[in-house]
Amino acid sequence: MTVSRRMRGWMNRNLPYMLTCEQVDNAMVDYLDGALRRGPRRRVELHRRLCPDCRAFTESYAATIRATRAGSGGDAPPPPGLVEAVTDRLDRRPPHKTTGPV
Per-position DSSP letters for 60-82, written without gaps between them: HHHHHHHHHHHHHTTTSPPPTTH
- Length, in residues, of the chain: 102
59-76 burial by CB neighbour count: b if 16+ within 10 A, else e?
A: eebeebeeebeeeeeeee
Task: Answer whether residue 37 shows pLDDT above 90.
Answer: yes
Give dist(CA 8, CA 99) in Å, integer.
13
For 39-93, the pLDDT digits (tens) are 889 889 988 988 888 999 889 888 888 887 776 565 566 667 777 777 776 666 6
Which pLDDT does position 39 carry in this prediction? 87
pTM: 0.56
